[in-house]
Amino acid sequence: MASSQSKLFTILLQMINKKKLLKRQLASRRFDLFSCPEPPVSLSKTCQVYRFQVKGRNVFRLQPKGKSSSKHILYLHGGAYIQSFVRFHWYFLAALVNAVNCTITVPDYPLAPAYTYTDSFAMVLDLYRQLLSAVDTNDLIIMGDSSGGGFALALAQKIRDEHIPQASQIILLSPWLDITLSNPDINDLDPVDPFLEKESLQQAGKLYAGDTNPDHYLLSPINGDIEHLGKMTVFAGSKEILVADARKLKSLADSKGVDLTYFEYADMFHAWMLLRFPEAKKARQQIIDLIGRS
């Protein structure tokens, strides 16, 4: 049963018509309304924050203060491939840094409509290769939420296909695994999802895909080979449209004997684990445990 806090947040999402926000952004071509493209100044109280560039794009690195760290996370943020970080991303990542004494590298990768997935992959693959020169793959984790979760899985598949050493784990938070959203189960979920709208997401996906068929595995990684990757863990909520493909990924993994741990939270909406109510805290502790065991 959902907590009272999560129920209130769901009501808030409905009151502000969050479900139609992406549609409004696409119509106005304004994608920075709630963006927080750099770590808030307050993060410097608990984390060491560094900035560098890869292919002319900012990359941020968060590290614990005064402590050594071997665990390293490459984190790919969500935002339907058209929006940058929001404050919830930074607070969530800072909490992980201090709970596990890990380092998190966070690229501000190219976004649609100014760029397409080819630009995003070029930048993040370059960054990944740089990480490999400094981090043991046993200590390396790829993690992402929403579109960043889809990107994370596609990146792992691309790494495998190019015979680049694989990270030990892939942690996917409410991942967007198929930009076509063609899974028929989504039609039943769309009316109950207070956060995401199918049609608007499809439009954003087309912008990110450019001229490439949106079924391509780098855009819709559920269509790619999921074997010979790092250990996968998926978190999804039962009231988000993306849970349909999260369930499909779990079924595919089971049919192929692929090690995939699946957590589905009843009555939870999209990307709830980035927030602070009881279900979010529970999911965050599970993520902390996963990082600690990698």
pLDDT 10s digits, 171-224: 999 999 999 999 999 999 999 999 999 999 999 999 999 999 999 999 999 999
Rounded Cα distance between 70 and 9, Å, is: 36
Q: Which residues contact 232 (CB under 8 A, 6 or more apart)?
A: 153, 169, 170, 171, 172, 226, 253, 258, 259, 260, 261
Quick check: 293 pLDDT over 70? no
User: Would strands 57-64 and 47-54 be described as parallel, antiparallel, or unpaired?
Assistant: antiparallel
pLDDT 10s digits, 95-145: 999 999 999 999 999 999 999 999 999 999 999 999 999 999 999 999 999
For position 66, what pLDDT does the model report? 80
For position 68, what pLDDT does the model report? 72
What are the structure tokens assigned to 175, written together?
């991942």
For position 143, what pLDDT does the model report? 98
Q: Which residues contact 159 (CB under 8 A, 6 or more apart)?
A: 125, 128, 165, 166, 167
**Which domains are present in the chain?**
4-292 (3.40.50.1820)
Go through 15-30 and write b for each residue having 16 or more CB atoms within 10 A of its CB, e for each that does not: eeebbebbbebbeeee
Q: Which residues contact 131 (CB under 8 A, 6 or more apart)?
A: 72, 74, 105, 140
pTM of the model: 0.97
Q: Which residues contact 86 (CB under 8 A, 6 or more apart)?
A: 34, 35, 36, 79
For position 212, what pLDDT does the model report? 98
pLDDT 10s digits, 5-23: 988 888 888 888 899 988 9
